């Protein structure tokens, strides 16, 4: 059972490749290493005892993508992670985001239809919900106007896949991730942000290790119990396992519709302060942080209703916030020891 994993050396991709190989899938990674490093392949190999196939090219290139599909027409399915994901950067360089995230998806779908490959799992985001009117947010909540070009690429991608499924023999599972953090328990793979991290967890661990002076907490005047924004953080290993479950559902012909969407989350919201407290508890350190003004574009609170994913997929996130902060810290320490 050969699966294409685009972006397979990235944060979520690498953890998913490990879980897929663990279940006996044969994996081909396509990644141009624009936000990851070649060494991740060695780490995946160490964890799995098996080296995935790897090709380095840009999926935005139609000819290279078509050539890939010609050589791998025996693929059973695709998991598409490869995309740019920095919200602020997308506001600054929207065309970069539209060309990369939409262009690559179109090329992949073309390759799939040309070779009668029917199944795709797509990395979507809770960003499609914006600030939901009702919490916890369910999969059928209204899609809100995206507040960044990045978010818009996720909405448009969901629409492109849905449109195609109406006219071509394509089935898709759209997985809407909430906030993935943490790292593999081996501390061999984890998040590798380029430059200064935008996201909370790597900023916390880089502050604790001494790479950053202090954590800037973006506002504590929100309408939440401690004033800091609430997110539904999910352990990346739980998230990776959900991709395997989704894949088995597709190829086992258990889907109830041509396109299904699931929230991947724990169902529990945590505030920024609660994440800091968890980090301090699991690391035994005191974190230097300062409260600053709100960050532009941040929503106040979002957490998921996971009932549909739990019942339909038979999958549930098992790891706690402490498991997430502990593994993220072990990974940061492992990086520092290199």
Q: Which of 15, 43, 80, 85 binds ligand UFG (CB under 6 A)?
A: 85
Q: Closer to ligand UFG at the Cβ: 42 or 322?
A: 322
Could you please report the per-residue DSSP string of 245-275? HHHHHHHTT--SSSEEEEEES-S--EEHHHH
# of chain residues touching ligand UFG (CB under 6 A):
20
Q: Which of 50, 72, 76, 216 binds ligand UFG (CB under 6 A)?
A: 216
Residue 150 is among the residues annotated as catalytic for this protein: yes
The yes or no reply on residue 249 touching ligand UFG (CB under 6 A) is no
CB of 193 to ligand UFG, least distance (A): 11
Question: Which span (119-127, 155-163, 167-175, 241-249) binds ligand UFG, by CB under 6 A?
Answer: 119-127
Alpha carbons within 13 A on the beta-carbon side of 295: 15
Instruction: Could you list the beta-strand ranges (E) of the chain.
Output: 2-6, 26-30, 53-55, 77-80, 119-125, 171-177, 179-181, 215-218, 230-231, 233-235, 259-264, 270-271, 289-292
The yes or no reply on residue 235 touching ligand UFG (CB under 6 A) is no
The yes or no reply on residue 218 touching ligand UFG (CB under 6 A) is yes
**Straight-line distance from the first to the last Cα atom of the chain, in angstroms, rounded to the nearest whole number:** 36
The yes or no reply on residue 101 touching ligand UFG (CB under 6 A) is no
Q: Give whole-number Cα distances, 264 to 42, 105, 190, 241, in Å.
A: 28, 21, 18, 10
Measured CA to CA, the distance from residue 98 to residue 276 in angstroms comes to 34
Q: Which of 97, 150, 203, 222 is catalytic?
A: 150
The structure tokens 């506001």 sit at 91
Catalytic residues: 150
Task: Note the residues at the interface with ligand UFG (CB under 6 A).
Answer: 85, 87, 125-127, 151, 179, 198-200, 203, 215-218, 229, 231, 272, 295, 298
């Amino acid at each position: 059972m050969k699966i294409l994993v685009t972006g397979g050396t990235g944060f979520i991709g690498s953890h998913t490749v490990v879980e897929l190989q663990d279940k006996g899938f044969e994996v081909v990674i396509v990644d141009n290493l624009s936000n990851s490093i070649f060494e991740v392949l060695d780490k995946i190999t160490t964890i799995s005892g098996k080296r995935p196939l790897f090709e380095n090219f840009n999926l935005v290139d139609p000819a290279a993508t078509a050539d890939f599909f010609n050589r791998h027409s025996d693929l059973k399915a695709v998991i598409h992670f490869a995309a740019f994901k920095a919200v602020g950067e997308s506001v600054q360089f929207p065309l970069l985001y539209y060309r990369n995230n939409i262009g690559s998806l179109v090329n992949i779908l073309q390759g799939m239809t040309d070779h009668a490959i029917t199944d795709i799992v797509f990395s979507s985001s809770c960003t499609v919900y914006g600030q939901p009117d009702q919490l916890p947010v369910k999969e059928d909540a209204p899609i809100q106007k995206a507040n960044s070009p990045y978010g818009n690429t996720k909405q448009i991608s969901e629409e492109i896949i849905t449109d195609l499924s109406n006219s071509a023999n394509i089935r898709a599972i759209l997985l809407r991730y909430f906030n993935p953090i943490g790292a593999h328990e081996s501390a061999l793979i984890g998040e590798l942000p380029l430059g200064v991290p935008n996201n909370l967890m790597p900023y916390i661990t880089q502050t604790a290790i001494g790479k950053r002076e202090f954590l800037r907490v973006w506002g504590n005047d929100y309408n939440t119990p401690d004033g800091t924004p609430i997110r539904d953080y999910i352990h990346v290993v739980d998230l990776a396992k959900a991709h395997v479950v989704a894949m088995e559902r597709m190829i086992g012909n258990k889907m109830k519709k041509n396109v299904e969407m699931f929230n991947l989350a724990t169902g529990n919201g945590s505030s920024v302060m609660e994440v800091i407290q968890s980090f301090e508890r699991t690391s035994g350190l005191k974190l230097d942080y300062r409260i600053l003004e709100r960050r532009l574009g941040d929503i106040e609170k979002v957490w998921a209703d996971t009932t549909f994913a739990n019942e339909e997929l038979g999958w549930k996130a098992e790891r706690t916030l402490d498991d997430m902060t502990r593994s993220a810290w072990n990974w940061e320490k492992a990086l520092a020891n290199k």
